[in-house]
Every structure is written in structure tokens, then in C-alpha cells.
A and B are shown apart, each in its own frame.
Chain A
Amino acid sequence: MKYLFICIGVLLAQYSYSQSIGGGLAGNIQTESLGIELRAVVPISFISITPQIAYYPFFNKVSEVYAGIGLQVPFLSFRSSHLYALGHVSYDAWLNYTESPMKDAKLHNIAGEVGLGIVSDRCLNPFAEYRYNLIFREANIRIGILIDLSCNSGAGYHSGSRSSVKCPGK
């Protein structure tokens, strides 16, 4: 057991992130809805806290606003990207809940999501996430781009794997 913890510690120690902000598109497969999202990534040790807000506009079958906070835990790194597991808790304002056939639909909801994501480890970092909403039992796809704030001194794009990146200010 001791060696297992050592292995996990060694594995996680390779992740060291910078603060990022970004946004992208959010797609809910079950409600056939498309939205936009904004997020920040705040690293704390090897994990990251991710405040997020997502809006599914009025033209969707389900129009709603999510505002919450997530947790990302990296678990697999390859080349200049890494996979992470995520958990997310948010307030959900379901704006057109009156149009839903769901019996207990309501405006104010608390949503919990778990999922997986992949993000590159450079200065402009595309990401993609698969998330499962535990409350509504819906799958979400998120794609977007994060800007590594530690790269804003003009150094431009990183290259190579995260471990070899020399970002200014790091």
C-alpha cells in the first residue's frame, strides 16, 4: 500500500499548472441544446479549482444558466496534454422549465456533474470534456480554449511537453 501511494504521488507530482481563463461551447446531448461557457482554472497543488458559468440561450429546447465550481484532478499525461477527472457543483437556473413535460421541473436547481476532460499544456490550450449530469441524467460535451495567464508576457505558444515548457514567470 505504501508503494501505491508513492506511485500516485510521483504520478501527480508531474502536474504543475498555471492560472488560465477561457471559454467555449457547451452541448447537452439529451436536451439537444447548445450553449456557451466561461471558466477559469486556478491550480492548487496538483489539482485545479474551476469556477464556471454556462448559458444555453432561449432558442434551445432547454434554456438555462449554470454557475458553479468544479474540481479537476489530472491522472494521465502524454506528450503536451493530460487527461483529468472532474467534479462540478453548480446552481442551475432553468429558464424555460414551464415548457418541459417533466413533472417536477422548477426554476432553481442544484446540479452535480462528474466527467473526464483533456487539455493541452501550452499557452493556448484547447480542451474537451465529457460530463454527466447526475441530477438530470444528461451527457454534456464541452469544447473550448484556455489561455495560460503565465504566458501573457509575449512569449507566445509553448512547445513540447509540459515538463519541458519554459513559461515566463513560472
Chain B
Amino acid sequence: MKTLQKIQTIVAAIIVVISFQNCSKDRIETETTSYESMNEYFDSKKQEEQEYIIDTLGECPLTGKLGTRICINKSDLQFTNGDSIYYPYTLKLVELYSIKDMIYYQATNNTSDGYYTSKGEVRIRTFKNDTELQLRQNKAIEVEIKDSLANQDMSVYYQQATDPFTWSKSTDIYSATEYGYLGLVSLGWNAAGKQASYTNQAIVSFTSETDNLETVEMYMYVSSAQSIVRINNHKQIETPIGEQVTFICMAIDKQNQLYSYTTNKTITGDTTIVVTLTKISDNDLTQILDNL
């Protein structure tokens, strides 16, 4: 009989647990739509990493597809154990100049204390066979970011964190040239930019009765600073008062249907934006990002 009682108790406990897991708050909370990760979609659209075999015939500078110029002195490269390298070696380059490409690469202009104006982001890596190389101490590579309108020096920003992608301003300088911005930088991600700072800011909050914003990619584009900022908390962001800003929300479902919500605003004070995503085609969404 004790065995029977144990079985009854266990069955009762299982029923309670299962039923509790199936509970619903439909009567007091709006059922919102959740979406899938956009990583796969972004990866399918992002700039390809360019690969160059550097040998004795290599010229300096090497020019990337979007115009970035790079000069590396082979003797400045080493294996992690300090050993020298020999030709040929491989240089891998990612160039992000447009807002759209920065979104696709998920390398938006967020810094630990706000955001910056980016004139171009590049990732430069070097490999000998499959082994990634590093720069010798106190050595740098010469990089020139293409910008025909360059008229003032910029700071060099380096990647500070990967998830979410965050930049950090360094003391290095990208000097304005006729071609763009010329700097001596490290390997990895770097960008030419300047911090966007505003005296008066307001809090813009986001809510939705239809969509689970935790599963939505959300961005703010500040026109005057030409900065694209990912809203990492999916809830609110500090926004400059009096500036024209565009908020872009996008999502994708299990059937790979895209959704978006876009609104342009000139912020005058704290405000709440009610987001309602609607279906959009890949072409139309691409067009929206192209126009930023």
C-alpha cells in the first residue's frame, strides 16, 4: 500500500507542475508576438570579409573594395610566441561605411557612455596559414579611411565589447587628409569618429501592445550626428532634444517574414513610442536602411 501511496503522491505532484507550466495571463495581459533572432538575416546581408594574400610583390598601400587603404610592415607582425613571419601571409578586411552595413554587421555606433559619429569602421586581421598574427609591441598599421569630405581630425575608436558591440574612444588620432582620415592603429576593429554629445536629452521609451519588444531589433538614427545606435535594452534611450531622429524596429518570424516599424521625430521632451510592427518585404526594408 505504501508503494501505491507513493505513486499517487508523485503523480499528483507531476500534475501540479505540468498544469502550472501551462498557465496563461491572457485575461490581464495582451498577447504579444515574439520573433526569432535576426542574426541569420543580418549575416546573409553583411559585407563579406575580403581576403588578400600578401607576398613579396605586394604594394603599399593595399586598397580595399570600399576604398580603405592599408599599409603593414611585415616585420611588425609576429606569432603570439614572438616568432617572425615570412611571406606570404593573409590579410582579412571588413569595411563598413554605410549605416546599413553597420546594422548588418551589428557594429553600430554604441559606446559605453553613449554613441559616436562614425566616418567608417574597419576590421583588419592577419593570418599565417590559419594562425592569427599580432603586432609587435609599440608597432602599428597605417590605415586611411576614405572620406572625400574629411575636414577635421577624428578619434580612433576600438572595439570594447562584442555582445552587444560597444566601442571605446582611444587617445589615437585619425588625421584629416585629402583622401580621408589617416591613422596609425592596431589590428582588429577600429573606426574613425567623434563622440556625439548633447547638453539636453530626453528619455524616449518604447512599448507595444502587439509585439514582444525583447525579440525586436531596435535602433535610433540621429541625423545630425549620422550615428546609428542600437537600443540594447529594448525599452528606452536618451535622445537629444531638438534633433531629428529616426527610430527603426525590425524583426523576423519563423517563416522568415520580415516586420518593421519606422518613425521620424524631433524630440521635445520625454515621450513614449507605441511600436506596432507590420510586414515588410526584404527590398523595402533594405530601401529604408539605404535611406538612412
Contacts and interface: CB of A to CB of B under 8 A. Distances in A.
Interface of A: 7, 11, 29-32, 61-62, 75-76, 83, 85, 100-102, 105, 114, 116, 130, 132, 136-139
Interface residues of B, number: 21
B27 A105 contact: yes
B4 A136 contact: no
A136 B1 contact: no
Given A11-B1, A76-B9, A116-B12, A132 B27 contact: no
Main SS class of interface, B? loop
B20 A31 contact: no
A30 B1 CA distance: 37
B16 A138 contact: no
B233 interface: no
Residue with the greatest number of chain A CB neighbours at <10 A, chosen from B12, B19, B24: B19
Contact of A7 (B1, B9, B27, B28): B1
Interface string B161-195: 00000000000000000000000000000000000
Nearest to B13: A116
B29 interface: yes
Nearest to B32: A101
Contacts of A102: 26-27
A98 to B, nearest CB: 12
Nearest to A78: B5
Residue with the greatest number of chain A CB neighbours at <10 A, chosen from B5, B12, B28, B30: B28
B5 A136 contact: no
B23 interface: yes
Given A62-B28, A101-B29, A139 B19 contact: yes
